[in-house]
Amino acid sequence: MGKIIFYEDRNFQGRSYECMSDCPDMSSYLSRCHSCRVESGCFMVYDRPNFMGNQYFMRRGEYADYMSMMGMSGGIRSCRMIPMYRGQFRMKIYERENFGGQMYELMDDCDSIMDRYRMSDCQSCHVMDGHWLMYEQAHYRGRMMYMRPGEYRSFREMGMSGMRFMSMRRIMDMC
C-alpha cells in the first residue's frame, strides 16, 4: 500500500493531506500544494484534475519544493497510485493512431525508438503486461505519460496533442 502526503507550503509546512489511493481532484483537500513526501509506494501526480495534464513520477522520498524543481506552475490537482507489479512486461507500440503503421513489441526499456526501430513517431499502443512510462524525448527525457494495461488508440484524443513519444521505460521500482 502506498502513501503520499501533500503540503500546502514549501518544506512540508501548512495544511497537509494524506493519500493512499487514487485522488481525481485534490482541490477539496488543499487549495495549493508546494511540497510532498512519499512514504511508501510510487505515484503519478498531475497538474490537472481527473488525471489529466502534465504528469510526474514520484517514488519514495521527500520533495521540499517540487513545484520549482519540476516546473509545475499550477500545482498538483490529482494523483494516481501505481500498483506494485512483479511479472513480465509487454507492450506493442504503433506508428499511427488506431494501431496503424509499423508495430513493434517491447518487453524491456527502450531509450530511443528511432535508434532501435527506425521509428520516428508513436501514436498508439497496447499495454499487455506491466506498467510503463513513455517519454516525449529519447533517453527518458521531457514530458511523460503513465501507461497501465489497456489499449490506447490515440494519444492525441487523450489530450497529448502535439506530443511524440520517443522512449519507454518499465516501472520496476518497489512501489
3-state secondary structure 18-29: EECCCECCHHHC
CB neighbourhood size of 99 (10 A): 18
Which run of H or E residues covers position 116?
helix 113-117
Considering only CA atoms, give the Rg of the chain. 16
- CATH 2.60.20.10 at 90-170, yes or no: yes
Which residue type is seen at 133? L
CB 63 within 8 A of CB 36: yes
Domain boundaries, given as residue ranges, for the chain:
3-82, 90-170
- CATH 3.30.413.10 at 3-82, yes or no: no
Same CATH fold, 90-170 and 3-82?
yes
Residue with cell 528511432: 114
Q: Considering the entire predicted model, what is its pTM?
A: 0.89
- The pLDDT tens digits of the residues spanning 111-161 come to 999 999 999 989 999 999 999 999 999 999 998 999 999 999 998 888 777
- The pLDDT tens digits of the residues spanning 43-72 come to 999 988 999 888 999 999 999 886 665 666
